[in-house]
Amino acid sequence: MSNITLHTLTSLKQKGRKFSVLTAYDATFAHLVSSAGIEMILVGDSLGMVLQGHDSTLPVTLEDMIYHTAAVARGNQGSMIMADLPFMSYATVEQCMQSAGKLMQSGAHLVKLEGSAWLAESISLLSERGIPVCAHLGLTPQAVNRLGGYRVQGKDHAAAQQMIEDARLLEEAGASLLLLECVPTLLAEEITRNVDIPVIGIGAGPHTDAQVLVLHDMLNITTGRKPRFTRNFMANADSIETAIRRYDEAVKDGSFPNQDESF
């Protein structure tokens, strides 16, 4: 696979073709995921739960993210690497600039921020300085205490309209990608149709430009309760590589997620 760029992803959207995203946190899995043809690797702060054993992403530090991003970069075989800025590492514009710069220097190709309109200034400045940004809307796990738990977002008309406005605003500010988590299918479809940048979904129905899952969820090795929006791609697979390729195929042919895996 030739190196994936933002131009690649934008071109896929324009052609109506979907792309795949999976998390990875180390060199070995980064090699497997990228070699299978997955266009983007997310070094997610979800590592706080799946690797570190926390009950949320909040304890994850910038140093943790730098360490795992560098490990992923060493194993990567051409996928684009997106790294999460962790909780309270971008509370001010100045802090955001410094934190994002460190992740880019460790091997990320773009950074992901959770939030809404308040992120516009930071996104604009990052973009001006050559740091591409993915804006994460909907269920934002770093705000789980304010949201009252892991709940579907944008269910009522006012909340849906606000999310649509936020998506447009953040695109105008310079966001290169959007990620929608746990939002109703019809809302995700409308946002995807009304922005020019690619939209990645997780628990957001089948109509986004791409899908992302936590690697451990789709391999069915996550302990505890499994999210509704995931699927066990290891079922009847003879290897991890086969499971990853099945996920990629299901995203691209539109068979994942199905109605039961959406809201």
**CA-to-CA distance for 19 and 207, rounded, in angstroms?**
12
**Torsion angle, alpha carbons of 90, 93, 95, 101, to 10:** 90
Say if CB 134 and CB 200 are below 8 A apart: yes
The answer to whether 57 and 48 have CB atoms below 8 angstroms apart is yes
Binding residues: 45-46, 84, 112, 114
At 125 the pLDDT is 98
> CB–CB of 212/256 below 8 Å?
no
Report, as an integer, the average pLDDT of 187-200.
98
Tens-digit pLDDT profile for residues 99-156: 999 999 999 999 999 999 999 999 999 999 999 999 999 999 998 888 777 889 999 9
Q: How confident is the model at residue 75 (pLDDT cuts 50, 70, 90)?
A: very high
For the record, the structure tokens of 151 come out as 């709940």
- Cα separation values, 259 from 57, 193, 214, 229, 236, Å: 28, 19, 19, 9, 22
Query: Residue 226 has what pLDDT?
Result: 87
- Domains present along the chain, CATH in parentheses: 6-261 (3.20.20.60)
Binding-site residues for 3-methyl-2-oxobutanoate = 45-46, 84, 112
Q: Which two tokens stand for residue 257?
A: 């997620």
Q: Which is the catalytic residue, given 39, 171, 181, 189?
A: 181
pLDDT of residue 150: 81
Q: Give the number of residues written for the chain.
A: 263
Provide the pLDDT for residue 123: 98
Residue 171 annotated as catalytic: no
pTM over 0.85, yes/no:
yes
